[in-house]
Amino acid sequence: MLIKDFFCDTLRVCVFDTRKAMGTCAGEEAALCIKRLLAEKKNINVMFAAAPSQNETLSALLNDQDIDWSRVHAFHMDEYVGLEPSHPAGFRNFLKRAIFDKKKFLSVNLLNGNAENIEKEAMRYAKLLMDHPLDVCMLGIGENGHIAFNDPPVADFNDTTYVKTVELEYRCRLQQVHDGCFNAIEEVPTHALTVTIPGLMQAKHMFCSVPAATKANAVFHMINDTVSTDCPATILKTHACATMYVDIDAGKLIL
């Protein structure tokens, strides 16, 4: 059940009493948007985040049987550098399990964190995003306020490229342990490829799903702080068509 619905600058914020209700609404509203766009255009471009926070949203999205995924170019937003390609925590593998292998897409475009030349891989993917401007971006925010892997030390609202290599902040790496993706922080890679903040923000529509008490402080700062890279997710408050969906645990400090 929706228990609070308000705007913070241009960002719509919806707080739900359960994680399931949060994901159901986020997935259903994203599905409606995708279908509306497909009624207007031959093909569309959709970017997905890979994280347990997206499970309920992706499940609800997949439940809509009227989406013609064969007209959708799919993208993901970040990938570890140097992680064993078959590792279950790899973001490519997460999204294959969660959605990419469950529907027939027009194309599935993946970042390769095992490329021989990582900088060339970043350039290749950046060009793909320039050639396929995003219609929809489905994302979350991190415990440190990151979006994609744009942690506070490396986040740049004025990045001149759509993809870059970054060193991951300790808090970001620890979150991967909290999420159950790795057993210990020593297992979490130290670097990643990420779509930059301009690369994310060029999406016409953004659906941001943020469950769990571990995100409560990040949600509080996102809503209450001024827009700055100290909490990169604050930039979402400037987007013309973005909604953040939180459950009561993540939203407990803004109720």
Q: Which domain holds residue 168?
A: 2-247
**Residue 43 placed within a domain:** yes
Q: Is the dihedral of CA 233, 142, 54, 248 positive or negative?
A: negative
**Residue 255 placed within a domain:** no
**Residue 17 placed within a domain:** yes
Domain count, the chain: 1
pTM above 0.85, yes or no: yes
**Residue 252 placed within a domain:** no
**Residue 133 placed within a domain:** yes
* pLDDT one digit per residue (tens) for the chain, 255 residues: 999 999 999 999 999 999 999 999 999 999 999 999 999 999 999 999 999 999 999 999 999 999 999 999 999 999 999 999 999 999 999 999 999 999 999 999 999 999 999 999 999 999 999 999 999 999 999 999 999 999 999 999 999 999 999 999 999 999 999 889 999 999 999 999 999 999 999 999 999 999 999 999 999 999 999 999 999 999 999 999 999 999 999 999 999
**Residue 24 placed within a domain:** yes
Task: Annotate 58-90 with DSSP letters as a single string.
Answer: HHHHHH-TT--GGGEEEEE-EEESS--TT-TTS
**Residue 97 placed within a domain:** yes
**Residue 254 placed within a domain:** no
For β-strands 2-8 and 11-16, DSSP reports them as: antiparallel
The amino acid occupying position 93 is: N
Yes or no: say if 253 and 216 are a contact pair by the CB < 8 Å rule. Answer: yes
Structure tokens at 184: 């210990």
Give dist(CA 115, CA 28) in Å, integer: 36
Q: Residue 114 sits in a domain of what CATH number? A: 3.40.50.1360
